[in-house]
Chain A
Amino acid sequence: MISPIERHIARTAAPVQGAGLLSVRIRKRIFEEPGFVLDVDVALAPGFSIVFGPSGAGKTTLLNAIAGLAKPDLGVIAVGGTIFFDSERGIQMPVEQRRVGYVLQDLALFPHMTAAKNVQYALGGLPRKERERQTVAILESFRISHLGARKPAEISGGERQRVALARALVTAPRVLLLDEPLAGLDAATKSKIVADLRVWNREHHIPVVYVTHNRDEVFALGERVIVLENGGIAAQGTPHEVMTAPRQEMVAQLAGFENIFEATVEAADEGRGTMTCRLAGSPVELETPLVRAEVGSHLRIGIRAGDILLATAQPYRLSARNIIPGRVVSLEQRDVIVSAKVDCGVEMEVQLTLAARDALALQPGGEVWLVLKTHSCHLMVG
């Protein structure tokens, strides 16, 4: 979570002084999508911040507002002491003066220029010698010196990505915005590029806003995650905080809960820190961790398919508190994982290994027991 002092700074209308903190407090309606409002209030310290959310959540609109390509209806955007936008004071700094490094979704490299010319594009005002020195330096730090004379169409996706980063960073921008920059690259290429970017940022120390809808990237990169949902911030914190203890259902789906059920609180045991919840439309009762919810109130439970154990005989003397009888509906092999659908009053997805399937001789129609620990049941509100 962001620290109280940062939150305080973000809420203050006065321009933020300090080490390049990017503060964004804006509202924006989108003309083409009636009803959609981007409404964010966030302060991003130098270093990596991941903005995570499904498509249509407003991620690109947020970046465009920071870059100056989209105008918010009201609010303030500032980096360090520089105000990009302030609706109350009528400030709107033109895009070309903001010094924002922005790697757009499709990179937008100039197709008629070589990699070196692309990188030099922003250095037009400098003397030639200085221009070339800076170009050589940045090409080197992104390991693309050998590509300088080639055009974007003549190099690979990962190399193009490096050229786009070098082009955005050669001007020493105040912030770096990356819109799903590594989409379509394999994990190895991705992590090498990110490592080089981190090295660069150790020296320059600017806020890097990294937009993605890929869950794996959040865990791989993030110091800080902001989950954007329907134009608003649904959650923020470390990847672990946001992704493992989801409160909002959207986060839950993104965090990989294959099973999400409506449930009613039947009983609460304050002393033991547990509750009993009944899954809607079934007699199945689950013991779950205690949350602040009235008996009789409705909530949702998320369960990962990989957190459920399967037994072909009724287990006993187990620590797990939830043992539910059911019947296998279907078995489907996905790569090296088997996904089993089990009907136990509700349909639950269970994932197991090929070896486990064979050892249990699982067949559709077979009788099984589902075993679930109390803390594998994640409760969500909203």
Chain B
Amino acid sequence: MDWASFWLTIHLAALVTILLIIAGLPLAYWIAYSRWRWKFIVESMVAMPIVLPPTVLGFYVLLALGSRSPLGRWWQAMTGHTLAFTFTGLVIGSMLYSLPFAVQPFAAAFSQVDPRLLAASATLGASRFTTFFRVVLPLSTSGVLTGVALSFAHTMGEFGVVLMVGGNIPHVTRTVSIDIYDQVQALNYAAANQTALVLLAFSFVSLCLVYGVNRKRWAWPWR
């Protein structure tokens, strides 16, 4: 088994998950509480990666990161090299790809918080910021954990976007799923099976965490 690609994947998934918590919480807060009439457009954009073939997403991310796009040119001017086929590019692509898996559970949890608690918090003199951290977030822990676990697991298992954006560079962009693909191409089924099994077990544990956390709500209602 290629442990380099395994650690690379863990590294990528952890980084993407942390970035998605930072970007996803405010975005989910906005989606849960904004009354803007065009909000549905933003919600649709966030949900796009769920229905889009990863190759399509990957293709456009590749174009956007490439030296022909304004973003790619700006990055190249700043750093001297292009974003495509780099780890940073992979992080950007993965963030877009896993965005709905973080934002949707976050937003669903936030909007389930009883609005009367928010009203009570305001009458007690708390700002929105305080209300978010002392009322909304503590009452949304299972939704937030779900989002975290899902975006981590989803990033672990991505293939299409990685292939399009990152290519297959050992120690830089070769993730576990690419590794498996390579081994199958080389008819190295035993090694492919080993790696695949690790990924399978990992995904199962992640999902168990998600469902286990959510189970608590109705199994121990007094908590």
Chain B residues within 8 Å of A111, by CB: 139
- Cα separation A171 to B134 with both chains bound (whole Å): 18
Chain A residues within 8 Å of B205, by CB: none
Chain A residues within 8 Å of B130, by CB: 124
Who on chain B is nearest to A94 by CB?
Answer: B122
Number of interface residues of B (CB under 8 A): 19
Q: Are B222 and A153 in contact (CB under 8 A)?
A: yes
Who on chain B is nearest to A101 by CB?
Answer: B123
Secondary structure class of chain A's binding surface, majority of residues:
loop
Task: List 5 other contacts, CB 8 Å, given A69-B123, A153-B222.
Answer: A68-B123, A96-B126, A101-B123, A168-B123, A171-B124
Q: Is B42 an interface residue (CB 8 A)?
A: no
Q: Are A67 and B123 in contact (CB under 8 A)?
A: yes
Who on chain B is nearest to A122 by CB?
Answer: B124
Q: Are A121 and B123 in contact (CB under 8 A)?
A: no
Q: Are A121 and B124 in contact (CB under 8 A)?
A: yes
Q: Are A104 and B124 in contact (CB under 8 A)?
A: no
Q: Are A104 and B222 in contact (CB under 8 A)?
A: no
Q: Are A96 and B134 in contact (CB under 8 A)?
A: no
A residues within 8 Å of B by Cβ?
67-69, 94-102, 104-106, 108-112, 121-122, 124, 151, 153-154, 167-168, 171
Of B72-80, B85-93, B111-119, B189-197, the one contacting chain A is B111-119
Q: Are B134 and A69 in contact (CB under 8 A)?
A: no
- Cα separation A151 to B114 with both chains bound (whole Å): 17
Chain A residues within 8 Å of B221, by CB: 153
Chain A residues within 8 Å of B127, by CB: 96
CB distance from A311 to the nearest CB of B (A): 55
Given A121-B121, A122-B125, A154-B222, A112–B116 Cβ distance below 8 Å? no
- Cα separation A99 to B114 with both chains bound (whole Å): 22
Q: Is B138 an interface residue (CB 8 A)?
A: yes
CB distance from A253 to the nearest CB of B (A): 30
B residues within 8 Å of A by Cβ?
114, 116-117, 119-127, 130, 134-135, 138-139, 221-222
Total A-B pairs, Cβ < 8 A: 62
- Cα separation A171 to B121 with both chains bound (whole Å): 13
- Cα separation A105 to B138 with both chains bound (whole Å): 23
Out of A69, A99, A106, A154, which one reaches B125, CB within 8 Å? A99
Chain A residues within 8 Å of B124, by CB: 96, 121-122, 167-168, 171
- Cα separation A102 to B116 with both chains bound (whole Å): 11
Q: Are B116 and A104 in contact (CB under 8 A)?
A: yes
Q: Are A104 and B135 in contact (CB under 8 A)?
A: no
Out of A106, A112, A167, which one reaches B139, CB within 8 Å? A112
CB distance from A313 to the nearest CB of B (A): 60
Interface centre among A96, A124, A153, by most chain B C-beta atoms within 10 angstroms, is A96
Q: Are B125 and A171 in contact (CB under 8 A)?
A: yes
CB distance from B121 to the nearest CB of A (A): 7
Q: Are A112 and B222 in contact (CB under 8 A)?
A: no
Given A69-B122, A171-B124, A171-B125, A108–B134 Cβ distance below 8 Å? no
- Cα separation A98 to B119 with both chains bound (whole Å): 13
Chain A residues within 8 Å of B126, by CB: 96, 121-122, 124
Chain A residues within 8 Å of B122, by CB: 68-69, 94-96
Q: Are B117 and A108 in contact (CB under 8 A)?
A: yes
Q: Are B139 and A104 in contact (CB under 8 A)?
A: no
Chain B residues within 8 Å of A124, by CB: 125-126, 130
Who on chain A is nearest to B128 by CB?
Answer: A96
Given A102-B120, A108-B114, A110-B117, A96–B138 Cβ distance below 8 Å? no
